[in-house]
Amino acid sequence: MSNPGNPENDPTFEPAIDSTEPNESFQAILSQFEQSHSRRSGEGGRQISGTVVAVSAEYVFVDIGYKTEGVLPIALFADAKETVEPGTRLQVSVKGRNEEGYYELSRLRVEQPKDWSALEQAFADKTVISGTVTAVVKGGLTVDVGVRAFMPGSRSGARDAAEMERLVGQEIRCRIIKLDAAEEDVVVDRRAVAEEEDRSTKERRYSEIREGDLVSGTVRSLTDYGAFVDIGGVDGLLHISDIAWSRIEKPADVLTVGQQIDAKVLKIEPAGKRISLGLKQLQPHPWDAVAGKYAAGERVRGKVTRVTDFGAFVELEPGIEGMVHLSEMSWAKKVRKPGDMVKPGDVAEVMILGVNAAERRMSLGLKQTLGDPWADASEKFAVGSQVEGPVTSFTKFGAFVQLAEGVEGMIHVSEISAEKRIERPQDVLRAGQVVKAKVLDVDKEKRQLRLSMKQLVPTGLDEYIAERKVGEVVTGRLIEIAGEQGTVELGEGIHAQARLTLEAAAKEQIQGGAVDLSSISAMLASRWKNGPSASEAKAEPVRTGQIRSFRITMVDRGAKKVKVQLV
């Protein structure tokens, strides 16, 4: 690997042919290099005439007669509104070399002092002078500024030893920070000049940029939250949310270091001198076309991008997301966590429930694509039919039974048992227990279905009513008397309302419509001809506890009621 400080690497170095002895000292070679370099640099007072050979998005490449071209930032010409193209002649000076090996050029004329008096004047005025780095020495570098000067490593602007090595042979801009003519001691500083020029460039650039401007730049570095872009000497932050309309995981998925991009200036904070850039803003917003593209009721497919506590977001296309609320995920069960239903990366079929293009919001439903189980509930679970299902949950007033996917019925605590009063449904039922019930009512609009367990179990009254008919004479015990009415116990747990006079009974039979005409006619005819019968004349007065004969006057199977009259 050649040393850039080697005089043979200098294009103006002319080696002495056949005059160099094998034992010639290094000091003689260095002296020869310094003389040749001085001859070259003296031409034109460090000002070099160059020719533009190429123009890129970032640099203007200039042939300055060296083995390697020099470069000028294209922004210098754009700012000055100056046109530059291959063949253009420019007056430039060499500042140094960049990491790619090109000479960094300046259009400013920088003189190199010719004698000690010029050096003393430059030191007093703190002016910028030019010099050439000649070698790396302990603690820094030696620089030719007309005399030999020392530049501490900390003031070179180099980040490491390798970068210091690359400075050897380069022309630099520096300032004298120490001068002792008597001791011929000169110390120079390159870092301070570079920092001042960098600040000056940034100040100028900040003053030129306006919000809304379209700028070109180079991606300098990538982070988890965005990318830093060099836009002509200053950095702008391209936040991850402003890279693309679609959601991206990390900037490195879209951008690479060194990539040339165009961006829009979104915001400038003068206080912190922060510039926010946007890449996606150069493209039309996807929501601008949503109104004519998506409509409520449509089924669409999309990718689940993220899941929150209240729902899941589904991307239908880059930049277009809709949300499936927790309540719209399942007919069958109450979903506690959206993550139980979908995961990021899943492809899901959803139904569009609503579109608000103005607010850029779209509500989606997952359960709607599975069909509404309540649509035919009235037919599947008709009133009076018997159903069966597991107990799913309890409340203070009853138990819920799952009849089908997404359809539950409720058994009120009063409809669980006819034999005893139940305070809590958990006292007789347990979760998961399969029970049978009768459908009492279906309300499809409210999605409610009432069930009864007790009405499926035949009672003594059900059996008694099924075996009896109007006009039949039965025996019963009077348990309560209230004037002409009473209550009769016809069997265990079977009670009937009773009329205790013939007239009242006959009147009731006529009004009630369920009349045994032959029995009443025979009874009235007998009384008309013969008067009261001997049994009637001698009949005991009715009293509580008596066991008497009664005729059934009414049987209402729907209401489960029986009425009788005393005979």
**What are the residue ranges spanned by the domains of the chain?**
7-194, 209-282, 288-355, 377-456, 460-566
Render pLDDT for 26-80 as a digit per residue (tens, 0 to 9).
444 444 444 444 334 333 335 678 899 999 888 899 998 888 899 988 877 775 6
The beta-carbon contacts of 55-62 under 8 Å, at least 24 apart in sequence, are: 55/84, 55/85, 55/86, 57/216, 57/260, 58/218, 58/260, 59/102, 60/84, 61/102, 62/90, 62/92, 62/105
Give the residue among 170, 161, 42 at the shortest CA–CA distance from 104.
170
* Whether pLDDT at 9 is above 90: no
DSSP 519-536: HHHHHHHHHHHH-S-HHH
Average pLDDT over residues 453-471: 79
Rounded Cα gap, residues 503 and 523, in angstroms: 11
Strands (E) in 99-195, as ranges, are 103-106, 128-137, 140-144, 148-152, 171-180, 185-189
Note the pLDDT of residue 292.
Answer: 79
Note the pLDDT of residue 17.
Answer: 34
The β-bridge relationship of strands 361-365 and 347-356 is: antiparallel
Note the pLDDT of residue 567.
Answer: 86
Work out the burial of residue 159: count CB atoms within 10 Å of its CB; fewer than 13 is exposed, 13-18 middle, 19 or more buried. Answer: exposed
Q: Do residues 383 and 442 make contact, with C-beta atoms less than 8 angstroms apart?
A: yes
> Among 8-17, 63-72, 273-282, 537-546, which is the least confidently predicted range?
8-17
Rounded Cα gap, residues 66 and 102, in angstroms: 10
The β-bridge relationship of strands 434-443 and 485-491 is: unpaired
What SS3 state is found at 478? Answer: strand
- CATH fourth-level superfamily of 460-566: Nucleic acid-binding proteins (2.40.50.140)
**57 versus 300: which is more confidently predicted?**
300
Note the pLDDT of residue 539.
Answer: 58
Note the pLDDT of residue 41.
Answer: 38
State the pLDDT confidence band at 188, using cuts at 50, 70 and 90: very high
The β-bridge relationship of strands 128-137 and 140-144 is: antiparallel
- Class in CATH terms, 7-194: mainly beta
Whole-model pTM?
0.44
CATH number at 288-355: 2.40.50.140
**CATH architecture of residue range(s) 377-456:** Beta Barrel (2.40)
* Whether pLDDT at 109 is above 80: no
> Among 100-114, 304-318, 465-479, which is the least confidently predicted range?
100-114
> Among 117-121, 192-196, 337-341, 531-535, which is the least confidently predicted range?
531-535
Render pLDDT for 250-276 as a digit per residue (tens, 0 to 9).
999 899 998 999 999 999 887 767 899
Note the pLDDT of residue 170.
Answer: 83
Q: Do residues 129 and 176 make contact, with C-beta atoms less than 8 angstroms apart?
A: yes
Work out the burial of residue 398: count CB atoms within 10 Å of its CB; fewer than 13 is exposed, 13-18 middle, 19 or more buried. Answer: buried
How much is the CA Rg of the chain, to the nearest whole Å? Answer: 52
Q: Average pLDDT of the chain?
A: 80
Note the pLDDT of residue 208.
Answer: 80
In CATH terms, the fold of domain 209-282 is OB fold (Dihydrolipoamide Acetyltransferase, E2P) (2.40.50)
Beta bridge partners of residue 220, listed in sequence order: none
What SS3 state is found at 435? Answer: strand
